[in-house]
Amino acid sequence: MIVRSKTKIRLLILLVGVALLIGGGATVYVVRKHRVEKYFVARRANGMAQYQKGDYANALVFLGPCIRREAFATDAEAIYAFAESRLRVELPNGKHLVQAMTTLQRVLSLQPGRTDVQRDEERDKTEHGTHAPTVPQIAPDPAERAPTGVRRGRGDPARGAAASCPARAPPGRARGTGPARPARG
């Protein structure tokens, strides 16, 4: 097969362009990944500094995103600092206690021999009585169940199927979203 020299040059230019495009994309990816990693290392350092100073609320802000990343998932020091900070910054309904205990257990799973974490966990149990505050019952009481054949949360069964199921709305109505719209003509 004979290929003209002009076609060869065009093909060469096309291949060089594709190679440059792929190389540029790979470079952007590597540089971006490096910057993100550097950003989270700085956040970890800031979070640890805030924890050392006793500013636990800011330590949570800096360390929270870091310990969720795969690169820091085994950083027991940062996870411990987050757990201690979480313990000292209260949330409504004692949620901070549950989160702190869960995070301390994560530290123990990474470093089973850490006695300071075990002591903290035991101290929290004795100070607060249990692992977690009591949670109100979510499941409905069997006596409150709807009678057979009546679906809860679907409207008043006395009003009929059109009121309880938007798919069965009367013709001309747009699935229960307001008054009927005039037909386009």
Residue 55, domain CATH = 1.25.40.10
Does residue 158 lie within any of the structural domains? no
Residue 95 DSSP symbol = H
Contact between residue 48 and residue 79 where contact means Cβ atoms under 8 Å apart: no
Does residue 39 lie within any of the structural domains? yes
The end-to-end CA distance of the chain, in Å, is: 62
Half-sphere exposure of 127 (CA within 13 A, CB side): 10
Q: Say what the pLDDT of residue 136 is.
A: 36
Contact between residue 103 and residue 86 where contact means Cβ atoms under 8 Å apart: yes
Q: Say what the pLDDT of residue 151 is.
A: 52
Q: Say what the pLDDT of residue 42 is.
A: 92
Q: Say what the pLDDT of residue 98 is.
A: 84
Does residue 150 lie within any of the structural domains? no
Name the nearest CA neighbour of 41 among 60, 69, 76: 69
Residue-number span of the structural domain to which 68 is assigned: 5-128
Does residue 24 lie within any of the structural domains? yes
Does residue 35 lie within any of the structural domains? yes
Q: 131: Cβ–Cβ under 8 A, 6 or more apart, which residues? A: 97, 98, 101, 125
Integer-rounded Cα radius of gyration of the chain: 31
The number of distinct structural domains making up the chain is: 1
Collect the ranges in the chain with pLDDT lower than 50: 130-146, 156-157, 159-166, 169
Does residue 80 lie within any of the structural domains? yes
Dihedral in degrees, nearest 10, Cα atoms 146, 150, 151, 154:
-120
Contact between residue 103 and residue 82 where contact means Cβ atoms under 8 Å apart: yes
Q: Say what the pLDDT of residue 31 is.
A: 96
- What tokens appear for 152 in the block? 């809860």
The Cα 126–Cα 99 span in angstroms is: 17
Does residue 45 lie within any of the structural domains? yes
Name the nearest CA neighbour of 93 among 131, 135, 60: 135
Whole-structure pTM value:
0.55
Does residue 97 lie within any of the structural domains? yes
Q: Say what the pLDDT of residue 2 is.
A: 82
